[in-house]
């Protein structure tokens, strides 16, 4: 006994670090290594290769001997590059401003004005983000394209005045479609901020003699600015990374993601594409930095214990205006989905009404795209399962075990959230295509990895959000009761964070089904997916077939999202936050 004490008092002194380490339970470290290895192999390594390739001569030769800046020189010499860069900036800034203009009032109205159908507005509000954005784009072509239905009628009105509405192709179309796709970020986040703000603060302002407008200006808005800033950042990052909308509706106007596609697909110029990708990421990084150090400095601690129900405006005129506003925004942003459904059942739609009711569009699917349907299902399901496991484990580690470097792990996992899909593809191609050590070009594996890399943040954020709401003492109580951490994880942690895992997975699955920007650079003849098929059909002008396929996607995605929202306590938007 005495000897043992003596022995252990020596070993746990300063020199006993190693023995102490061995006495510890090592399983957490092993579990920690798996996600780390995944991130190193499929994120850090590809990104490093991309960065190297960006400094190589155009082509796809990986030659460390001849580094230079020729890839970047094009941004000074080529008119196409310059215009693409300028377009990306214009699109990013305009879409962000438009989304703010649409979304902030809507968030305020739904949070603060007494209007009917709030929960419906909120659940429909998230749809434009979750629904495939490129489907929206080609639907607007049906409405406002060269032979667009709506454009035809608007021009009947405008022609006597000597005016003509141009087709939607180009900058206006991109900004229009993207704003309608991304405003829900602003709407949902600002709604959250407006409705969770402490009413007592506003009451206090009012009691000190401030008018309603003054309270709004000096108290309410400053408090929601951080949320709105985060939403604006999200919109900006998404819009400059979007590939589908510019590819379909951009016409001859290129932006950086389509330029990347053009370099890879047209010239197999991986090094050139890498240079563009680096520029794209630099812009995103600069904006992120700006948000982090300028906007979020204004974040405030809530210094109050009790919350009071927020007073809602009941003025009848305001109520009518608010309700109509929300209704119009929602209808316009959901119009594409409705148009697609109609279009799918007709041969063509060039006048007032669609002509030639038919089921042929659907009948063609089993013949033309059976492989694509199966591929989409297979790839999305498998990738979602793996993402759910990976994201949950990383969230659990960073949130609960808090190892040294948890901050780095967090940043690494979230990095793909801000990386445009085309950039992720270029990175994976530069590391794993052709004669690389692990050749994966054209395989299912490379697509699944790309999906995992891009969607892990969804599950990660969603699970981390439920973990922060989970008091650590629940898990400690289990440990104290004698349970090994694996037992605790299985019986206590997983059941309690299951809502987070499920909503993260659903978001992952429903967005993977419609994934275009990553797949477009990675697919091969065997691995075509439904969105690829739709994109091809639109390019070939087969609107009916594209619509029918889109309808199938829409139905599946809507069914998933609807059932999720039905079951209580699921919050899909958690996975979309940063």
Residues near other proteins (CB under 8 A) are 1, 4-5, 8-9, 12-13, 20, 23-25, 471, 473-474, 476-485, 487, 491-492, 495-496
Nearest distance in Å: CB 405, other proteins: 14
Report the run of H or E that residue 124 belongs to, with start and end: helix 118-125
In whole angstroms, give the CA distance from residue 365 to residue 64.
47
CB of 21 to other proteins, least distance (A): 11
Q: How far is CA 511 from CA 210, 328, 572, in A?
A: 46, 26, 12
Q: Rounded to the nearest whole angstrom, what is the least distance from the CB of residue 409 to other proteins in the complex?
A: 19
Cα(22)–Cα(391) distance, rounded to whole angstroms? 28
C-beta closer to other proteins: residue 23 or 147: 23
Cβ 434 to other proteins shortest distance, Å: 46
C-alpha angle with apex 80: 74 to 82, nearest 5 degrees?
65
Nearer to other proteins, 476 or 540 (CB): 476
Closest to other proteins by CB, 484 vs 526, is: 484
Q: Which is nearer to other proteins, 350 or 468 (CB)?
A: 468
Nearer to other proteins, 10 or 539 (CB): 10
Nearer to other proteins by Cβ, of 305 and 353: the residue is: 305
Q: Tell me how far, at minimum, the Cβ of 571 lies from other proteins, in Å.
A: 17
CB of 493 to other proteins, least distance (A): 11
Token pair for 114? 């007494």
Of 8 and 304, which CB lies nearer to other proteins in the complex structure?
A: 8
- CB 473 to other proteins: min, Å: 4
Judged by beta carbon, residue 373 or residue 496, the one nearer other proteins is 496
Question: 135-148 b/e with 16+ CB inside 10 Å = b?
Answer: bbbbbbbbbbbeeb
Cβ neighbour number for residue 10 with a 10 Å cutoff: 11
CB of 4 to other proteins, least distance (A): 7
In the bound complex, what is the minimum distance in angstroms from residue 505's beta carbon to other proteins?
Answer: 19
- State the nearest-atom distance from the C-beta of 483 to other proteins, in Å: 5
Q: What angle do CA 267, 175, 423 make, to 5 degrees?
A: 35
User: Is the CB of residue 412 less than 8 Å from the CB of residue 394?
Assistant: no
By C-beta, is 21 or 562 nearer to other proteins? 21
For the beta carbon of residue 566, count every other beta carbon within 10 angstroms. Answer: 9
CA distance 231 to 351: 39
CB 471 within 8 A of CB 478: no
State the Rg of the chain over Cα. 26
Closer residue to other proteins, CB minimum distance, 24 or 435? 24
Phi, psi of 404 (to 5 degrees): -60, 135
Residues in CB range of 377: below 8 A, 6 or more apart? none
- Candidates 499, 515, 500; CA nearest to 577 is 500
CA distances from 349 to 134, 139, 354, 360 (A): 19, 11, 4, 15
Which of residues 266 and 495 has its CB atom nearest to other proteins in the complex?
495
Nearest distance in Å: CB 292, other proteins: 22
Q: How many beta carbons lie within 10 A of that of residue 340, not counting itself?
A: 25
* 3-state secondary structure labels for all residues of 315-383: CHHHHHHHHHHHHHHHHHHHHHHHHHHHHHCEEECCCCCCEEECCHHHHHHHHHCHHHHHHHHHHHHHH
Rounded to 10 deg, the angle between the 494-512 and 444-468 helix axes is: 140
Residue number with CB closer to other proteins (359 or 477): 477
Which residue's entry shows tokens 């082509």? 59
CB of 10 to other proteins, least distance (A): 12
* Complex with other proteins: residue 312 or 469, whichever CB lies closer: 469
Sign, CA dihedral 403-407-411-414, equals: positive
Report the residue number, 5 or 119, with the smaller CB distance to other proteins. Answer: 5
Residue 26 beta carbon to other proteins: minimum distance, rounded to whole angstroms: 12
Q: Which of 192, 181, 288 is nearest to 234 (CA)?
A: 288
**Backbone angle region of 505, left / alpha / beta, with phi > 0 → left and psi within -120 to 50 → alpha:** alpha
Q: How far is the CB of 8 from other proteins (least distance, A)?
A: 6
Token representation of residue 23: 């006495």
CB 533 within 8 A of CB 553: no
Q: By the 8 A CB rule, do 361 and 548 touch?
A: yes
User: How many residues are given for the chain?
Assistant: 578
């Amino acid at each position: 006994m005495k000897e043992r004490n003596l022995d252990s008092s020596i070993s746990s002194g300063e020199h006993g670090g190693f023995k102490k380490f061995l006495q510890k339970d090592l399983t957490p470290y092993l579990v920690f290594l798996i996600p780390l290895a995944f991130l190193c192999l499929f994120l850090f390594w590809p990104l490093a290769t991309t960065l190297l390739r960006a400094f190589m001569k155009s082509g796809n030769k990986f030659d460390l001997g001849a580094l230079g800046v020729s890839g970047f020189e094009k941004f000074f010499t080529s008119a196409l590059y310059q215009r693409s860069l300028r377009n990306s900036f214009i699109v990013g800034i305009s879409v962000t401003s438009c989304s703010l203009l649409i979304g902030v009032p809507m968030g305020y109205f739904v949070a603060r004005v007494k209007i009917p159908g709030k929960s419906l507005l909120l659940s429909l509000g998230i749809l434009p983000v979750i629904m495939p954005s490129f489907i929206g784009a080609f639907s607007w072509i049906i409405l406002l394209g060269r032979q667009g239905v709506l454009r035809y009628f608007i021009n009947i009105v405008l022609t006597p005045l000597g005016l003509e509405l141009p087709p939607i192709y180009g900058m206006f179309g991109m900004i229009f479609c993207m704003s309608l796709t991304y405003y829900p970020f602003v709407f949902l986040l600002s709604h959250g901020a407006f409705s969770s703000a402490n009413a007592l603060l506003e009451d206090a302002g009012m009691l000190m003699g401030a008018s309603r407008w003054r309270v709004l200006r000096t108290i309410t808005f400053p408090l929601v600015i951080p949320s709105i800033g985060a939403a604006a950042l999200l919109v900006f990052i998404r819009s400059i990374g979007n590939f589908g909308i510019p590819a379909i509706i951009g016409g001859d106007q290129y932006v950086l993601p389509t330029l990347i596609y053009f370099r890879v697909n047209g010239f197999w110029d991986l090094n050139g594409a890498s240079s563009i990708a680096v520029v794209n990421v630099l812009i995103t990084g600069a904006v992120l930095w700006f948000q982090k150090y300028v906007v979020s400095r204004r974040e405030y601690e809530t210094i109050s214990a009790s919350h009071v129900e927020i007073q809602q405006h009941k003025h009848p005129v305001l109520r009518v205006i608010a309700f109509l506003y929300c209704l119009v925004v929602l209808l316009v942003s959901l119009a594409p989905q409705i148009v697609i459904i109609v279009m799918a059942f007709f041969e063509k739609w060039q006048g007032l009404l669609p002509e030639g009711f038919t089921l042929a569009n659907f009948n063609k699917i089993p013949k033309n795209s059976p492989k694509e349907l199966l591929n989409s299902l297979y790839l999305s399901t498998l990738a979602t399962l793996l993402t759910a496991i990976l994201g949950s484990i990383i969230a659990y580690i960073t949130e609960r075990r808090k190892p040294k470097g948890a901050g780095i792990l967090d940043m690494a996992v979230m990095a793909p959230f801000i990386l445009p899909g085309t950039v992720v593809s270029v990175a994976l191609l530069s590391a794993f295509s052709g004669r690389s050590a692990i050749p994966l070009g054209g395989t299912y594996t490379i697509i699944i990895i790309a999906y995992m890399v891009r969607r892990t943040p969804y599950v990660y954020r969603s699970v981390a959000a439920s973990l922060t709401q989970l008091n650590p003492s629940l898990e400690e109580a289990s440990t104290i009761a004698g349970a090994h951490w694996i037992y605790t994880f299985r019986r206590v942690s997983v059941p309690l964070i299951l809502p987070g895992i499920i909503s993260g997975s659903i978001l992952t699955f429903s967005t993977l089904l419609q994934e275009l920007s990553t797949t477009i650079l990675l697919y091969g003849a065997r691995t075509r997916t439904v969105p690829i098929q739709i994109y091809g059909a639109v390019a070939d002008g087969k609107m009916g077939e594209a619509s029918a396929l889109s309808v199938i996607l829409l139905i599946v995605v809507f069914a998933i999202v609807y059932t999720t929202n039905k079951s209580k306590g699921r919050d899909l938007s958690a996975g979309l936050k940063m």
